[in-house]
Amino acid sequence: MADTVKIAKMALIGIGSLATLTLAGNVAFGFGGKLGQEAESSKTDRIYTIVEQAPLTANGKISSNVDKGYFANNEKGQVARIYVQNGQYVKKGDPLFEYVDSSNQTKDAVADLLEEQTNLYNQRIRLIRQRKKLTGKDYNYAGYPLDANYVYGKGDTGANGVADIENETVDEPTDTISAGENDNSSSGSQVATGKIDYSIPSTGDPAIDQVNSAIKEVEKKLLRAKRDQKPIVYADYDGFVYVNEEGVYNSQVPLVRLVAKELVINSSISEYDYARLKRDKKVKIYVKAEDRTVKGHVSAVDELPNNMATANSGASQSSGDAGKSAGQNSSAIDATTYGFQVVPDKKVHIGYSVSLEIPVDGYDVPATAFKKKSGQYYVMKIVNGKVKQEKVSVEKRGINLVVMSGLKKGDRILTDAHSAKDGDQIDDASQAK
């Protein structure tokens, strides 16, 4: 009986020992496998392969960098004529449309000036006749001796080179002097008074000079009055015009829109990509409606964010509402964006939607991959199974350092620059991060 109990006890001890060994083996195997995997992972994670940065992407629309609307102003009169057609290209200074001022005030001003002009012309004719009788010389229409005809004057000379003063009449006579009228008569007109305009060459006769100065002033006033009677609206710059005839009767609608020739794409980018965007960067533009790609470049980048007004209004709130406001507007603050413009190299129809792709210069590498000595940055590059200390130039973008030169796509570096020395042998595993 005792032997039987002893045998059974020994059997239990053996089974227990076997179980203990089995458990220990399983634990050892499990931990050993995990440690081996960590070691292998650590081994491959030490190597980083240089890849190109993903391009920046954004959406936008084609628009004009200058777009001005010209509205009909009823106070200036009724629109009488539109000089341009829809889609026409005009240059700065070209007429767009004109008014007709049918008010009696403007008509009367023009009529009065025309009458004054006619009287001055007649007065000058009388003075020239008198001078011709005194000197026996011939004079042109402005009272200059014939040898000075090319200096200043009005009208042509006769067939013999002499101005036909004796038979002269004006276009709109109000008191024209006939050839047989007394030269000393001043009926129907007044002698010109006022200062002499010395910018006009002198005829040698002060009375005629005074009349010439008065005629010049009247002609300037008449020109302005006629312009006011039929005022014309001119283009302020080169561009394409778009006409909406509803604007003739509706002052809230532009009669003519002038769109500058140079088109731009307005878009925006987040604060996290802002540092990677620069002027003159090349851009690939995909025109969705036409399924084609054109090239372009970044022409402008805003310094202030698009939601600056929101940020400023939040800053002016009372301290009691600050916490509440911050909680409610946190998404808006996180979504800060900056506007930028792109100029396409080829014409794209205004209003079309486009997708933008902007290449990014440089290479992103882990911060731990840099080693700094005397202000210079280095990385540990793997070449033929050996570590080589490679000098690189970097650019700070936000909180990151970007390698601008010294590396190329496909190069392999250590993620920890201090884990090996220059010339060390390394197991250049085929797998790399």
Q: What is the pLDDT of residue 411?
A: 92
Mean pLDDT, the chain, as a whole number?
75
Alpha-carbon torsion (40, 41, 45, 51), positive or negative: positive
In this prediction, residue 215 carries a pLDDT of 92
* Whether residue 228 has pLDDT greater than 90: no
Structure pTM?
Answer: 0.47
pLDDT for 163 beyond 70: no
What is the pLDDT at residue 104? 64
Percent of the chain scoring above 90 in pLDDT: 31
Query: Mean pLDDT across the stretch 47-64?
Result: 90
Identify the band that residue 102 occupies on the pLDDT scale cut at 50, 70 and 90. low
Lowest-pLDDT range, 119-133, 195-209, 230-244, 283-297? Answer: 195-209
Q: What is the pLDDT of residues 10-22, one digit of tens each?
A: 444 454 544 444 4
pLDDT digits (tens, 9 = 90+) for 412-425: 999 888 888 888 88
Per-residue model confidence (pLDDT) at position 273: 87
Q: Which of 2-6, 31-35, 126-130, 425-429 has the lowest mean pLDDT?
A: 31-35
pLDDT above 80: residue 51: yes
Task: Measure the CA–CA gap between 117 and 302, rounded to whole angstroms.
Answer: 58
Contacts 24+ apart (CB under 8 A), 238-241: 238/89, 238/90, 238/91, 238/92, 239/64, 239/66, 239/89, 239/90, 240/87, 240/88, 240/89, 240/90, 241/84, 241/85, 241/86, 241/87, 241/88, 241/89, 241/90, 241/96
Question: Is-contact 48 366, C-beta < 8 A?
Answer: yes
Rounded Cα–Cα distance for residues 9 and 373 (Å): 72
State the pLDDT at residue 128.
92
Are the C-beta atoms of 83 and 97 separated by less than 8 Å? yes
Asked if residue 328 has pLDDT above 80, the reply is: no
Residue 429: band (very low, low, confident or very high) from pLDDT cuts 50, 70, 90: low
Per-residue pLDDT tens digits for 236-254: 888 889 999 999 989 899 9
Is 385 or 355 the better-scoring residue by pLDDT?
Answer: 355
Residue 262 has pLDDT above 60, yes or no: yes
CA distances to 123, 186, 281 from 119, rounded to whole Å, are 6, 10, 69
